[in-house]
């Protein structure tokens, strides 16, 4: 009996020791692992199907254009891969397709409200709530892409945009740019102003306001919905992006006339938008890494955009598509109405007025260089 009792005591002591060690370990783990880690710095998001616990920053990144879209959609993919590689996996931006976790036109709302830490978008979609946003994304008869970059980095554009979006709890980073879009894909020829009147067309940004003023019926559709609307006749025409992008969406199969120049968007910029509180909580080195990645993405995006359009246009004949130039009288009328609308918007909104004045002043002094430095070309 004495021997049996001794074994029982020994077993109970061993069990007590195990329970004590477990409790101490559990308390210790809770002490160093917060129970409500903010999603901005959570390190357990899935990457390529695997849990990534090594990243110092792991963000879900909703994007506005499908990754299958050349130039527009693959630029955030390039950004995410470049930053992950450069940071040795410490910064992991996991791409989510449009609508997967955030509606395509609601990315800045989700970032503002902290539903996601960051997103990649075209700020022109904020026009309804931030009237000055189209000036940051695309301006009819506005700056060319390298001119926009010059204004952003050295002409006050970055400071003005950051101040504008600070009120919405957002920090914007210039992260992509392309050259002119096409003026649109049309089912029938456009020979005069009369051909615009009554036209049912998908159009975005300030250019849509111009088309409405000239008598067109304008609607806004996400990129993934345009082809079906055009094919079924719900719209007569559409603008969207570059020829290589538009062709990937199938517009060349249903609209035989592709017009130029892209008067409504001589440049198209994209931005990485970060929740302001999240941004301010980042280490300076991590902020710098994101900024460096975006600057590289701007350069790469423009180069890719310029490199890929000529071949697409050269192949239009294989699809029965004709590349056309808008008549000069119509272009001049579009320019006149564009200036009119810009001034009307400036009179209504002080932010719009301030940013427009900055852009016009920069363009005025840039002309001194632009008009003299480049060779005149005859095409």
Instruction: Give the pLDDT mean for 234-261.
Output: 97
Instruction: Give the pLDDT mean for 244-265.
Output: 97
Q: Say how far apart CA 62 and CA 48 lie, in whole Å.
A: 16
Give the pLDDT of residue 20.
41
Contact assessment for residue 346 and residue 356, using Cβ atoms and an 8 Å cutoff = yes
Beta strands at 91-96 and 57-62: parallel, antiparallel or unpaired: parallel
pLDDT single digits (tens) 198-212: 999 999 999 999 999
User: What's the mean per-residue pLDDT of the chain?
Assistant: 89
The answer, yes or no, to whether residue 22 has pLDDT greater than 80, is: no
pLDDT single digits (tens) 242-254: 999 999 999 999 9
Phi and psi for 217 in degrees, rounded to 5? -100, 110
Domains of the chain in start order, with CATH, are 46-179+268-307 (3.40.190.170)
Instruction: Give the pLDDT mean for 294-306.
Output: 98
The answer, yes or no, to whether residue 272 has pLDDT greater than 50, is: yes
In DSSP terms, 168 is beta-bridged to none
Instruction: Give the pLDDT mean for 302-312.
Output: 97
pLDDT single digits (tens) 70-100: 999 999 999 999 999 999 999 999 999 999 9
359 or 42, which is more confident? 359
Take residue 129 and report the two structure tokens written for it: 């709530």
Give the pLDDT of residue 377.
80
What is this structure's pTM? 0.85
pLDDT-based confidence at residue 103 (cuts at 50, 70, 90): very high
Give the number of other CB atoms < 10 A from CB of residue 257: 16
Q: Say how far apart CA 375 and CA 271 lie, in whole Å.
A: 32
């Amino acid at each position: 009996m004495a021997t049996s009792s001794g074994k029982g005591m020994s077993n109970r002591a061993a069990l007590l020791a195990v329970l004590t060690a477990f409790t101490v370990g559990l308390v210790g783990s809770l002490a160093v692992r917060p129970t409500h880690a903010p999603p901005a710095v959570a390190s357990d998001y899935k990457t390529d199907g695997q849990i990534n616990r090594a990243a110092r920053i792991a963000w879900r990144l909703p994007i506005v254009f499908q990754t299958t879209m050349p130039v527009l959609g693959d630029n955030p993919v390039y950004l995410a891969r470049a930053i992950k590689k450069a940071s040795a996996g410490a910064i992991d931006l996991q791409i989510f397709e449009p609508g997967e976790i955030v509606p395509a036109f609601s990315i800045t709302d989700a970032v503002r409200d902290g539903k996601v830490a960051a997103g990649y978008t075209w700020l022109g979609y904020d026009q309804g709530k931030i009237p000055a946003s189209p000036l940051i994304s695309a301006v009819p008869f506005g700056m060319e892409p390298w001119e926009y970059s010059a204004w952003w980095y050295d002409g006050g554009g970055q400071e003005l945009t950051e101040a504008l979006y600070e009120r919405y709890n957002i920090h914007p980073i210039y992260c992509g740019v392309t050259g002119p879009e096409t003026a649109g894909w049309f089912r029938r020829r456009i020979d005069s102003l009369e051909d615009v009147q009554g036209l049912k067309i998908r159009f975005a940004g300030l250019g849509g306001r111009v088309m409405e003023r000239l008598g067109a019926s304008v609607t806004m559709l996400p990129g993934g919905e345009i082809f079906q609307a055009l094919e079924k006749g719900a719209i007569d025409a559409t603008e969207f992006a570059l020829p290589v992008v538009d062709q990937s969406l199938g517009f060349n199969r249903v609209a035989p006339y592709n017009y130029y120049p892209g008067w409504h968007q001589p440049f198209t910029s994209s931005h990485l938008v970060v929740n302001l509180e999240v941004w301010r909580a980042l280490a300076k080195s991590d902020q710098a890494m994101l900024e460096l990645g975006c600057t590289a993405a701007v350069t790469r995006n423009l180069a890719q955009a310029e490199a890929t359009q000529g071949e697409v246009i050269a192949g239009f004949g294989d699809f029965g598509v004709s590349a056309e130039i808008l008549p000069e009288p119509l272009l001049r009328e579009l320019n006149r109405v564009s200036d009119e609308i810009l001034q009307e918007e400036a009179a209504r909104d002080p932010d719009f007025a301030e940013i427009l004045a900055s852009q016009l002043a920069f363009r005025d002094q840039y002309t001194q260089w632009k008009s003299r430095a480049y060779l005149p070309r005859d095409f």
